[in-house]
Structure 1
Amino acid sequence: MDHKSFLASLSAEQCRDLTETSDRRGLAHLALHFGAIALVGTLIVAQVPFWPVLMLPQGIFLVFLFTLLHEASHQTPFRSPWLNTFVAQISGFLTLLPPRWFRYFHFAHHRYTQIPGKDPELATPKPEGWRQYLVHVSGMPVWISHIGTLIRNAAGRCEDAFVPVGKRRAVRNEARMMLGAYMALLLACLALRSPVLIYVWIVPALLGQPFLRLYLLAEHGRCAYVANMLENSRTTFTNAAVRRLAWNMPYHAEHHAYPTVPFHKLPDLHKLTAEHLKVTEPGYASFHARYAPQLSGPVQTDPAE
């Protein structure tokens, strides 16, 4: 059974139940995620004993706001549209990823998942050699990409095919507002001679990004280039803490099969799709233990370069 056949098998009542959004469920989950960032950030600012160690969990909490941005781009974490938009803006700002631009990018990814030449995620190939793997996991390429996207969009040079021509001015304005806000924060820190943002945001984000890279690689890495969402996406079984941190996105094949299902209903959707899933993994360590041995030797560079 492919995802289209599966969706056709659902009753109208099942569809209504699965796609029911909730401000209460969304806000409760949001309070835990933002609460963790605020708590650890406060401990860092207070410089409690061994406070530098806290920058790692702070970074993990911060970079995994990407999964909230992703969810909010579907308008599913909350019933209220304005809440989805607001949370996407905050999450995008903290992860240097413009939310409006990302929404267009992500919708193209859903429409053409694992279709070479059409899925924008495939524009950056998955690592095939050890050097590529280590560079990918470092997170530096993604930071460079995010900054480049912001600068290019702010300059009015967005030419991404997935961004409608009529929406490019809005994408430009979004990037300019984000860059302006970053500059204002920088100037404020310089005026106050305060390094607080370095310790509670910048360095933690750099430390946390490798964990997000390892997590995201499992979503489609080594999956088939086919249209069936139950085969081109991977569901990874993991513990409750990781599922909570990632807004239940480890149920990734389920999400791609039925993207309007909110995060808190994905476990219910999984019960219905479990027997039809083609690609699953018992954990992220297990995925990388299988992925790594398939990597080739160090990537050879052209001597003429």
Structure 2
Amino acid sequence: MHSIAGGLRSVITRQPAFTAAAAELTPAELIPAEALRQLNRRSDRAGWRQLAGHGALILASGLIWADGRLPWALRLPALLLLGWGLAFAFCALHECGHRTAFASRRLNDAVAWWAGVLSFYNADFYRRYHQWHHRHTHQPGLDPELEDPPPSSRWGYLLELSGLPWWAGKLRGHAAGLMGNFSDCPYIPAEAAPALRRSIRLQFAVYGLLLLLSLPGGNGVLLWLWLLPLALGQPLLRFVLLAEHGGCSTSTDVLRNTRTTHTLAPLRWLMWNMPFHVEHHLLASIPFHALPAAHGWIAGRLEHNDPGYLAVHRSFLAEPSQLALPAPPA
């Protein structure tokens, strides 16, 4: 019996040639039903394999960075890898937040919550926030990702990549969440607020426990093994996230308002295949491990199917104003 992967390969080789007339097709019409059914299959095995690799990166780099007997030439690269592993735990949170990384809903939710602890997001809040983002992708005034306007100058661009606006926003958001104040969040219904407040308080209890455990030995584990590396990892995460919708149309057409970016395999792996972002937005039910196959079906229809992050950001640097949102109507 042919494997699922082999079946997909045989189907994808027969993909249709998309033309302008296909613009009105629905996602289900872009990908035939049988191929879509296979693409939508969730796999605990694929999820565990990805999670184990990501966890191993964090653990191995953390052990090397923490070992003061090792030379700095080894420890500093390990510190950077640890930072990337922690920052890009956001990608694990994102996939599990969609409850597609694993077949088990409970496992998806558990992994998402702990990935949020590592990346300084709250999974329960983010799930509702992100659902709204998918509903109103890149729509000014509706998409919560646009609550803080994107940069429109080189200085603003560099500030965005530093991660400083992200830290400020996270501290404000978590502080409001700890108080149960979600008045500025239309995607949070009143009945969900108590559960979200409990989740955020539990997350900060974990941070508090780690802080208390580090005090007797004076080792500053929360600073040296989490805050510092996470801060160092943020610029690369901001770099790739800015490309997802930056400079794209503010229309409601996912094929135009979202970007797929081709990149090196190690970064694609670290991102849980998030560079295939149009594919993800077009059909969020497709698990991360099937997104490359989904790309084969829709590649010819993408307005933004870019050759790499450096090329995308060269364009941003050449014309930062393209990141700015259109002025609201008078």
Q: Same fold (TM over 0.5)?
A: yes
For residues 170-209 of structure 1, the aligned pairs below 5 Å read 170-209=195-234
Over 3 Å counting, the alpha-carbon distance change for 1:165 and 1:3 in structure 2 is farther
Residue 112 of structure 1 contacts residue 118 of structure 1 at CA under 8 Å; is this kept in 2? yes
Residue 44 of structure 1 contacts residue 199 of structure 1 at CA under 8 Å; is this kept in 2? no
Residue 112 of structure 2 contacts residue 123 of structure 2 at CA under 8 Å; is this kept in 1? yes
Over 3 Å counting, the alpha-carbon distance change for 1:173 and 1:3 in structure 2 is farther
Question: Aligned residue for 2:49?
Answer: 28
* Residue 250 (1) aligns with residue 275 (2): yes
What is the one-letter code of the residue matched to 1:27? Answer: W
Question: Aligned residue for 1:302?
Answer: none
Question: Aligned residue for 2:242?
Answer: 217
Question: Aligned residue for 1:49?
Answer: 71
* Residue 161 (1) aligns with residue 183 (2): no
Shift of 1:5: 2.3
User: Partners of 2:50 and 2:238 in 1: how far apart?
Assistant: 22
Shift of 1:84: 0.5
User: Partners of 1:68 and 1:100 in 2: how far apart?
Assistant: 14
Shift of 1:219: 0.2
Residue among 118, 122, 126 paired with 2:150: 126
Gaps of 5+ in 2: 1-21, 322-330
Shift of 1:284: 0.6
For residues 60-139 of structure 1, the aligned pairs below 5 Å read 60-139=84-163
User: Partners of 1:175 and 1:161 in 2: how far apart?
Assistant: 18
User: Partners of 2:159 and 2:30 in 1: how far apart?
Assistant: 43
Report the number of matched residues. Answer: 296
Residue among 47, 58, 61 paired with 1:37: 58
What is the one-letter code of the residue matched to 1:28? Answer: R
Question: Aligned residue for 1:285?
Answer: 310
User: Partners of 1:226 and 1:289 in 2: how far apart?
Assistant: 24
Shift of 1:140: 1.2
User: Partners of 2:256 and 2:289 in 1: how far apart?
Assistant: 23
Over 3 Å counting, the alpha-carbon distance change for 1:4 and 1:71 in structure 2 is farther
Shift of 1:233: 0.3
Shift of 1:236: 0.3
Structure 1 stretches of 4+ moved >6 Å: none
Give a deviation string over 1:13-43, Cα, whole Å, max 9, x none: 2221011000001101111111010001011
Question: Aligned residue for 2:325?
Answer: none
Query: What secondary structure is seen at the aligned counterpart in 2 of 1:192?
Result: coil
Identity of aligned residues (%): 37
Give a deviation string over 1:270-305, Cα, whole Å, max 9, x none: 000111111121101111111101126xxxxxxxxx
Question: Aligned residue for 1:273?
Answer: 298
Gaps of 5+ in 1: 297-305
Question: Aligned residue for 1:299?
Answer: none
Question: Aligned residue for 2:39?
Answer: 18
Residue 96 of structure 1 contacts residue 147 of structure 1 at CA under 8 Å; is this kept in 2? no
Q: Single out whichever of 187-196 and 55-64 deviates more from structure 2.
A: 187-196
Shift of 1:149: 1.2
The alignment's C-alpha RMSD in Å is: 1.3
What is the one-letter code of the residue matched to 2:281? Answer: H
Q: Single out whichever of 164-173 and 183-192 deviates more from structure 2.
A: 183-192
User: Partners of 1:52 and 1:116 in 2: how far apart?
Assistant: 41
Residue 3 of structure 1 contacts residue 228 of structure 1 at CA under 8 Å; is this kept in 2? no
Shift of 1:64: 0.6
Residue among 241, 257, 265 paired with 1:240: 265
Over 3 Å counting, the alpha-carbon distance change for 1:73 and 1:123 in structure 2 is same
Question: Aligned residue for 2:289?
Answer: 264
What is the one-letter code of the residue matched to 2:252? Answer: A
